[in-house]
Amino acid sequence: MNKQLPKGFFWGGSVSSFQTEGAWDEGGKGVSIYDITPTPEGHADWKVAIDAYHRYDEDIELMRQMNFNFYRFSICWSRIIPNGDDEVNEEGVKFYSDLIDKLLAAGIEPMITLVHFDMPAHLVKKYNGFASRTVVDLFARYAKVCYERFGDRVKHWMTFNEQNLHSVFIRVSNAYDVPEGKSEAAHLYQVAHNVMIAHCKATKLLHEMVPDAKMGGMTTVTNYYPATMTPENNLFCQQAYNYHSQWVVEVQATGKYPAYWTTYLKNRGWYPEMEEGDEELMLESTVDYLCFSYYRSNTLTEGTFDYERPFNDCIEDHIIQNPHLDATEWGWEKDAVGLRWILCDMYQRYRMPVFILENGMGAREELDENGEVNDDYRIEYHRNHIEAMKQAMFEDGVDCLGYIVWGPIDIPSSSCEVAKRYGFVFVNRTDTDLRDLRRVPKKSFAWAAKAFGSNGEDLA
Ligand code: BG6
């Protein structure tokens, strides 16, 4: 068997708008929910991030030097439609249009995420985020504007970053107000359904408006290992995997809710209200491939899913640190074998191409006395994960489209912690001091250039 990765295999990086752009009040942008959400004590705010809004030429050049042929970024909804329900901001459109042109000129294929946890603050205040079907329709309108303006050049799209998180945390959907008479769990799963309908509307629209473009379903995936060897513990892990991510993947791939999911919700009185046409729409809106983020596996002790609390609370009670795996300072276990497991499981279930869209490890770093960051641990992490991916492809027959890392140039973490760095390039700022935001390639920069430039052949 040919053990070389296919020509055109994608290598690159993923980011979100709020973790990179800065320029929070420039270019006609409206107020995004991130601009007004407090960050934890000791962390930065989102106003500057890494100032990519003003520095993307330099960042694209660094990506080109690392032999990227793919870059996934998110559009900030409030740059395009400042309040979400008003007119299009042409300055915002131009910003992304120029970015796309420059990426293509550097030989880098762009992928757009329409929503990476953010939305115009006005939509949260006026409509309660994705609790409202009006916001579902406003999202479809926003998607349409993006397809009209960028669809001629952008052929890879996704609706929601890590869509399954909309059934885990209500904050991701920005739908904080629980309607009177509804339990928190019923509200959470109603909103997750609304988000699914928003995803389907935008997917159908893309296929109609830009027939040569592809829509990727996107989830964050982790596998669960039983801490004990009991059959009950094993079953709990399988259920956790299904509830946490696979029910969303199933709808993205087949257009139908799986029976375990509808049964779980109905048994607890949490089944969402459907509108006429929802089920037909889901069937008509399947995706073209399955994307996911993977950072770590989890290990669970024995447990069950009770009838009072959402599934995630039940899982959280049972997570323990796996003694067989090293973890980052943030307790995220490094598990390359887990990536092979996920790739196999996801591909074999649906026989749809799969795409690793986020992978990486966070580390606390500073320039040393020579002005360097010698991040051998990061090289090892990516090498192990690329090797595991190759095994999934060459030993298990998985059709994988690419290996895309998270935050290739340091960006603040999802909770705006600058100290948690993922990049091949150091950005000179801290949580409390903006310094000069200078970009400094780390040791892993040269490794990435070699690994990606050799299409995954040279991982030494
Ligand atoms: C993913 C998100 O969950 O993981 C990113 O898409 C996030 O927004 C990334 O930054 C890494 O997580 P964290 O919390 O370490 O930044």
> For 10-32, how does the pLDDT look when each residue is reduced to its tens digit (9 = 90+)?
999 999 999 999 999 999 999 99
As annotated, the active-site residues are 162, 358
In this predicted structure, what is the pLDDT of residue 452?
Answer: 98
pLDDT at 436: 98
Report the mean per-residue pLDDT for the chain. 98
Helix 336-350 to helix 376-396 angle (10° resolution) is 30
Averaged pLDDT, 433-460: 98
The pLDDT of residue 255 is above 80: yes
CATH superfamily for domain 10-453: Glycosidases (3.20.20.80)
Give the mean pLDDT of 246-258.
Answer: 98
The one-letter amino acid code at 363 reads: A
pLDDT per residue as tens digits for the range 300-358: 999 999 999 999 999 999 999 999 999 999 999 999 999 999 999 999 999 999 999 99
278: pLDDT confidence band, cut at 50, 70 and 90? very high
pLDDT tens column, 46-68: 999 999 999 999 999 999 999 99
Ligand 1 atom nearest 161 alpha carbon: 6
- CA–CA distance, 247 with 265 (Å, rounded to integer): 12
Ligand 1 pocket check for 362: Cβ under 6 Å: yes
Closest by CA position to 425, among listed 439, 438, 412, 407:
439
Q: Is the CB of 406 under 6 A from ligand 1?
A: yes
Q: What's the mean pLDDT in 296-300?
A: 98
| 220 Cβ below 6 A of ligand 1 | yes
User: pTM for the complete prediction?
Assistant: 0.98
413 alpha carbon – ligand 1 mean position (Å): 6
- Which of 194, 354, 375, 185 lies closest to 264 in space, CA to CA? 185
| Among 385, 435, 437, CA closest to 411 | 437
The confidence band for 215, taking pLDDT boundaries of 50, 70 and 90, is very high
Residue 119, Cβ density class (10 Å: 0-12 exposed, 13-18 middle, ≥19 buried) = buried
Best probe residue, ligand 1, of 118, 328, 365, 406 (max atoms within 8 Å of C-beta): 406
Over the range 408-445, which residues count as b (16 or more CB within 10 Å of their CB) and which as e? Answer: bbbbbbeebbbbbbbbbbbbbbebeeeeebebebbebb
Would you say the CB of residue 293 lies under 6 angstroms from ligand 1? yes
Q: Atom 16 in ligand 1: which residue has the minimum CA distance? A: 413
Shortest CA distance to 176 belongs to which of 128, 218, 223?
A: 128
Say how far apart CA 240 and CA 113 lie, in whole Å. 26
Which of 119, 101, 121 lies closest to 110 in space, CA to CA?
Answer: 101
| Top mutation candidate among 17, 43, 358, 405 for ligand 1, by most atoms within 8 Å of CB | 358
Tell me how far the alpha carbon of residue 303 lies from the centroid of ligand 1, in angstroms. Answer: 27
Percent of the chain with pLDDT over 90: 100
Q: What is the mean pLDDT of residues 187-203?
A: 98
> What pLDDT, on a 0 to 100 scale, did the predictor assign at position 1?
63
How far is 142 from 134, CA to CA, in rounded Å?
12
Give the span between the Cα atoms of 240 and 286, in whole angstroms: 24
Measured from the CB, is residue 413 less than 6 Å from ligand 1? yes
What is the rounded distance in angstroms from the CA atom of residue 112 to the CA atom of residue 63? 17
CB neighbourhood size of 188 (10 A): 25
C-alpha of residue 414 to centroid of ligand 1, in Å: 5
Token digits for 229?
């060897």
Over residues 80-98, mean pLDDT: 98
The reply to whether ligand 1 has any atom less than 6 angstroms from the CB of 163 is no
- Residue ranges in 66-159 assigned as alpha helix (H): 77-80, 90-105, 121-127, 133-150
- The encoded tokens of residue 447 equal 């490794």
Q: Could you read off the pLDDT of 136-190 as tens digits, one per residue? A: 999 999 999 999 999 999 999 999 999 999 999 999 999 999 999 999 999 999 9
The residue whose CB lies within 8 Å of the most ligand 1 atoms, and thus the one to mutate among 118, 298, 414, 420, is 414
Strands 289-293 and 70-74: unpaired
Q: Is the dihedral of CA 356, 382, 5, 64 positive or negative?
A: positive
> If you average pLDDT over residues 208-220, what whole number do you get?
98
Q: What spacing in Å lies between the alpha carbon of 330 and ligand 1's midpoint?
A: 12
C-alpha 84/C-alpha 450 separation (Å) is 43
Residue 199 has pLDDT above 70, yes or no: yes
Structure tokens at 450: 């070699």
Measured from the Cβ of residue 238, the count of other Cβ atoms closer than 10 Å reads 14
C-alpha 70 – ligand 1 centre gap (Å): 19
Q: Which atom of ligand 1 is nearest to the CA of 414?
A: 16
Distance 85 CA to ligand 1 centre (A): 28
Residues forming beta bridges with residue 406, ordered by sequence position? 14
Give the DSSP H/E element, type plus range, for residue 450. helix 443-453
Distance CA 252, CA 233 (A): 28
Residue 441 — φ and ψ, nearest 5°? -60, 135
Ligand 1 geometric centre to CA of 230 (Å): 33
d(CA 134, CA 250): 26
pLDDT attached to residue 2: 72
Report the nearest-CA residue for atom 15 of ligand 1: 413
Q: What is the pLDDT of residue 400?
A: 98
